[in-house]
Amino acid sequence: MPSIPKLKTKDKILLTAVALYNKSGVQGITSRHIAGEMGISHGNLDYHYRSKEELISAIYDKMRAEMSDYFITRNANSSSIEHFHLLLGQLEEFQYKYRFINLDVMEITRAYPKISLLLQKTSEHRKEQMNALFQEFISDKFMLEIEADTYEKIQHIIRVIITFWLPQREVLATEKFTEKGSMVKSIWAVICPYLTESGKEEQEKTINKHGHIKQEPTND
């Protein structure tokens, strides 16, 4: 059995930083906290990441690369509806894996201008990708052909839901829609009124097959 390669110090720093930021927030954690958690010197950490902005940028780059893989990777037999649904499940999973980015998004963008620009650039790219998916829905006869302005508004609502899902979950912890899978359900609630009959059938078939929560792969 091949041996599993050890993580490099730089990668361990990222994993430790994500865990601590997720637990205590960006403002509550310093580089000394991260170094102490890892059992390395503060100088060793600074050698790899000279500032908090550089460290958070590296984490965001990692998250963005992982998410991009899910946007472009697609089962050849998946319909556009199924692909979108699986993508939503992965997006919700990322909400928890990198929860601090969504919970502290305002603090991060205000404190670190370079990261703010990167977030804006990524947002524009995701906007183009989502629009392409909607165009595929229409091409596949899964979505009604309505005014372009309406589709832009629907897509904007979806982006707002994704961006602020965790913050509202934290604030409204006693309300409904806080369990995992609720973000996916909420997004479909926005889209479903604009699906054709065949689109609704495909969406129902997809939900029956996958549910609303990202399924872990099995060994079957």
217 belongs to a structural domain: no
Give the domain range for residue 170. Answer: 75-210
Tally of domains within the chain? 1
Task: Map tokens 């629009």 to a residue.
Answer: 131
Say if 141 falls within a structural domain: yes
Per-residue pLDDT at 69:
80
pLDDT value at position 220? 39
| 139 occurs within a structural domain | yes
pTM: 0.83
Q: Count the Cβ atoms, other than its own, within 10 Å of residue 131.
A: 14
Residue 188 lies in a domain: yes
Domain membership of residue 204 (yes or no) is: yes
Position 176 scores a pLDDT of: 54
Does residue 215 lie within any of the structural domains? no
- Convert the pLDDT of each residue in 94-136 to its tens digit: 888 999 998 998 899 999 999 999 999 988 988 999 999 999 9
Q: Kindly report, residue by residue over 14-58, the tens digit of the pLDDT.
A: 999 999 999 999 999 999 999 999 999 999 999 999 999 999 999
Instruction: Provide the 3-class DSSP secondary structure of residue 195.
Output: strand
In this structure, is residue 51 part of a structural domain? no
Residue 82 domain flag: yes
Please give the structure tokens belonging to residue 117.
Answer: 């620009």
5 Cβ contact partners less than 8 Å away, ≥ 6 residues apart: none
> Could you tell me the CATH number of the domain that includes residue 166?
1.10.357.10
pLDDT of residue 4: 47
